[in-house]
Amino acid sequence: MPDEGRARHEDYLIDLPGKRAEYPPLPWTCSNIRMINVYFEVLKGPLLDRLPAEYCRTSPSYCRLTIIDHPESPAGPFRDAIIALGCRLNMMPAAFVAGSVTNSEKALAAGLFERGFPNVLGKIEFESSVGSAHAIVSDAGGPLLEVRLPLLQTIEPSRLAYDHVDALRTLPERKTELTITRPDIKVERAAICKNATIEYPSERAETPWQALQCRNVVSAQLVHGTRTFAGGGQPG
């Protein structure tokens, strides 16, 4: 029998701002994005503790780390990062957001009210070249994780495909609503890395970023393309 998630919806309730910050209406078309995307194995227990009961875990248990740099968008330049739980919804592949960060107040507002993520303001350092990529994700408490792709190899963009990303969005009446964000990346150039690493500069067990620590990197990519940053919808 598949392992069902053990998290309660209440675990993902957040305090919404009393005043909604202004931001351009979604969707935002973001050209020339750079994305670091890493799949890595994690322990089963911490993943099930954060996965809602609508979902079942995969075997082996894994997470998806995504860090995206948007040099241009209707809301100005911004970066965001998510750690998502690899899972299945109605037996179809999915990824459920357990933690998310952005460096933009407008992206934060749009995420909170229309997507369910990103939902924490922080700092994201991102650099890439033809041969390598590197990023550090931080929140108000300091660095959460550091990822390195030290040696990149170009691949055909058609080799990559991404599943939808889901989250629990907090409603004004202090309830949660499951939202699904469809695959939003048009891949124009891509490279893979076979020796990527994820490191944890500090011990912060209270955050999903550290509780879901990498045990083994499965695959890692650096992607260039266009992203459509859109609102979430109901499960179909």
Domain harbouring 131, CATH code: 2.40.400.10
Residue 2 lies in a domain: no
Residue 40 lies in a domain: yes
Per-residue pLDDT at 219 = 97
Domain span at 82:
26-227
**Between residues 234 and 171, the one the model is more confident about:** 171
Residue 98 lies in a domain: yes
Per-residue pLDDT at 15 = 92
Residue 1 lies in a domain: no
Residue 79 lies in a domain: yes
Percent of the chain beyond pLDDT 70? 99
Residue 108 confidence (pLDDT) above 80: yes
What does the chain look like in DSSP terms, one character per residue?
Answer: -PPBP-B-GGGG-----SSPPP-PPSPEEEEEEEEEEEEEE--HHHHHHHSBTTEEE-SS-EEEEEEEEES--TT-SEEEEEEEEEEEETTEEEEEEEEEEES-HHHHHHIIIIIS----B-EEEEEE-SS-EEEEEEETTEEEEEEEE-SEEEE-GGG-----EEEEEEPTTS-EEEEEE---EEEEEEEEESS-EEE-SS--TTSHHHHT--SEEEEEEEEEEEEEE---B---
Residue 116 confidence (pLDDT) above 70: yes
Mean pLDDT of 154-176: 94
- Residue 1: band (very low, low, confident or very high) from pLDDT cuts 50, 70, 90: low
Residue 204 confidence (pLDDT) above 80: no
Per-residue pLDDT at 203 = 81
pLDDT digits (tens, 9 = 90+) for 2-49: 789 999 999 999 999 988 889 999 999 999 999 999 999 999 999 999
Looking at the structure of the chain, the number of domains it has is 1
Q: What is the chain's mean pLDDT, rounded?
A: 95
Residue 145 lies in a domain: yes
Residue 80 lies in a domain: yes
Residue 47 lies in a domain: yes
